[in-house]
């Protein structure tokens, strides 16, 4: 249980990074409050993947067992180009939804004595008083602020990159879920200027798809813009017709634009630390956005406890541990975007041959997923 301190740590944002941070701090007996701008836990969002680097941390936080019960794990992902199977990978990945992760993290946080205050939209932070002010005019004295408020972070814009707006990445995305296709494998389909991933998200084998297309016409960043079956079929008309059933049968089709921000050199200023998409929003081609948020949150929580609540030292070491990793994955994600969306037949053929006959994909995946954030903490403390 939490041991109350004089002033709690304020966590701005109740998404994956904010709630993981809350759990990590609560497990160490450090008091915090999650301030969420919405009036309730966000039930929206797409399917998502959690790889071994983040699964290990969720296990240390005692939330993995519950997440596994309500998610799906498969030992293979089949990669196709047109009608042809290129290769098959065997990653240690849990397939689930963002809603499920945040729901389970929130339940764990509350059980540990944490507090989530909804309807609190950040307005202002008085750095001298360490006082937070929200749009509803409520005020709180805090010991530190963790900015976990996503790609459109008000804290990042005000204290890190003034007047910098999110940049359209050149990609739009679709998502949907169907109960009609009961398959226990994950699949990735390459097409010209587009790719599509499908996988089961629970034990009932409800299946989601995430489709991403290269486009000059940017959509809004919101995940809640509805689309139609005709629109999504038109966007993926060049694909092999084996993918059409999941597009036709998916309910609640949504589309959105994928946005990014330039990498930062420093993830903190005095009294404020950035985590997750507020720190390093990235295109989703490596499936690491949520995983990086979990690594960030776990790292900060463990460092703060180990360093006896010394925020200044915690920030310095947190930045040293995280900045190179998150910036490199941000950059690599954009590079993978190019590989996934090739349209030149010669380049497509070369990509497919490399993936089929070399070990490069397996080795790259292993290097990414075998990162041990827990060990990195203690390595940098010694």
Return averaged pLDDT per consecutive 10 residues of the chain, 382 residues in all.
64 97 97 94 80 96 96 89 88 91 97 96 93 95 96 93 87 90 88 93 92 89 82 89 86 90 94 96 93 98 95 97 95 92 93 91 86 92 80
Looking at the structure of the chain, the number of domains it has is 1
Rounded to whole angstroms, how far apart are CA atoms 291 and 302?
Answer: 17
Q: Is residue 172 part of a domain?
A: no
Residue 147 has what pLDDT? 97
Question: Would residue 3 count as lying in a domain?
Answer: no
Residue 270 lies in a domain: yes
Q: What is the arrangement of strands in the sheet containing 93-97, beginning at the earlier edge strand?
A: 47-51, 93-97, 72-74
In a domain, 200, yes or no: no
Look up the CATH number of the domain holding residue 57: 3.50.50.60
Compute the distance between CA of residue 276 and CA of residue 331 in angstroms, rounded to an integer: 15
Residue 360 within a domain: no
Q: Is residue 205 part of a domain?
A: no
Q: Which domain holds residue 55?
A: 9-71+100-165+262-339
Amino acid 6: pLDDT = 65
In a domain, 125, yes or no: yes
Q: How far apart are CA 325 and CA 367, in angstroms?
A: 12
pLDDT at residue 45, rounded to an integer:
66
> Which residue, among 168, 141, 140, 164, has the nearest Cα to 153 in the 3D structure?
164
Question: Residue 97 has what pLDDT?
Answer: 92
Q: What gap in Å lies between CA 268 and CA 274, rounded to an integer?
A: 6
């Amino acid at each position: 249980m939490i041991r109350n301190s004089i002033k709690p740590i304020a966590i701005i944002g109740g998404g994956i990074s904010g709630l993981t941070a809350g759990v990590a701090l609560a497990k160490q007996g450090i008091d915090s409050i999650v301030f969420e701008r919405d009036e309730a836990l966000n039930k929206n969002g797409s399917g998502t993947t959690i790889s071994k680097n983040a699964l290990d941390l969720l296990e240390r936080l005692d939330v993995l067992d519950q997440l596994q019960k309500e998610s799906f794990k498969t030992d293979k992902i089949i990669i196709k180009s047109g009608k042809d199977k290129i290769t098959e990978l065997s990653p240690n990945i849990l397939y689930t939804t963002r809603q499920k992760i945040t729901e389970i993290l929130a339940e764990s946080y509350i059980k540990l004595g944490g507090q989530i205050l909804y309807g609190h939209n950040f307005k202002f932070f008085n750095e001298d008083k360490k006082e937070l002010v929200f749009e509803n005019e409520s005020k709180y004295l805090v010991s530190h602020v963790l900015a976990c408020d996503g790609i459109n972070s008000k804290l990042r814009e005000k204290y890190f990159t003034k007047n910098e707006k999110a940049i359209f990445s050149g990609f739009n995305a679709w998502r949907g879920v169907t109960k009609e296709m009961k398959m226990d494998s994950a699949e990735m389909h390459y097409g010209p200027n587009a790719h599509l991933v499908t996988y089961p998200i629970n034990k009932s084998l409800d299946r989601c798809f995430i489709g991403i297309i290269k486009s000059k016409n940017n959509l809004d960043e919101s995940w809640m813009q509805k689309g139609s079956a005709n629109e999504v079929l038109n966007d993926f008309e060049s694909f092999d017709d084996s993918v059409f059933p999941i597009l036709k049968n998916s309910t609640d089709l949504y589309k959105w634009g994928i946005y990014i921000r330039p990498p930062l050199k420093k993830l903190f200023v005095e009294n404020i630390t950035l985590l997750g998409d507020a720190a390093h929003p990235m295109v989703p081609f490596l499936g690491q956005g949520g995983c990086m948020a979990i690594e960030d949150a776990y790292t900060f929580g463990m460092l703060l406890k180990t360093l006896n609540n010394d925020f200044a030292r915690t920030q310095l070491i947190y930045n040293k541990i995280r900045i190179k990793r998150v910036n490199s994955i941000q950059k690599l994600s954009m590079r993978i975007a190019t590989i996934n969306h090739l349209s030149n037949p010669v380049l497509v053929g070369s990509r497919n041959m490399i993936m089929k006959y070399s070990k490069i994909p397996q080795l790259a995946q292993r290097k990414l997923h075998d990162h041990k954030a827990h060990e990195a903490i203690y390595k940098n403390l010694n």
